[in-house]
Amino acid sequence: MTKQITSADEFVAALQLPGLVVINFTASWNPPCHALAPYYAALAAKHTLSLPTASSTTTPPQPPPARPAAAFFTLDVDELPDVAEDAGIAAMPTVVCYKGGAVVGTVVGADVEALEEVIAACL
């Protein structure tokens, strides 16, 4: 599951999360962004641990995981152009992986294979 970043403060807060933070810098008018979107969502579902939604009366509840394997976000560059510029985004889509606020991987363009490889390498 991905979360939409809608402010500069949310961007800063996302970068401060523990573990891997993946941000898809996108534009609503950009066809390659539309092409990448379902693959990005699938990668987010694959690499984000989810909490159980219901517990059975016969099975004791399991403790939640310590934290997700990765946190996935989307940021519309037209809504937050200053944030995109500060992040050095020059083309869409650009997916940037961060750890501890530092860039640890980047994929420019709708290259699904490269995106899978970069995320796997950064986990």
Q: What is the mean pLDDT for each group of 10 consecutive residues in the chain (123 residues)?
A: 95 95 97 97 84 51 61 97 97 97 97 95 92
Sorted by sequence, the CB contacts under 8 Å of residue 116 that are 6+ apart come out as: 43
**Predicted pLDDT at 39:** 97
**Cis omega (within 30 of 0) for bond into 68:** no
Query: How many whole angstroms separate alpha carbon 114 and alpha carbon 103?
Result: 16
Helix or strand holding residue 109 (H, E): none
**Predicted pLDDT at 78:** 97
Residue 91, amino acid: A
Sorted by sequence, the CB contacts under 8 Å of residue 11 that are 6+ apart come out as: 5, 23, 75, 80, 83, 87
**Predicted pLDDT at 14:** 96
Query: How many whole angstroms separate alpha carbon 22 and alpha carbon 64?
Result: 22
**Predicted pLDDT at 5:** 98
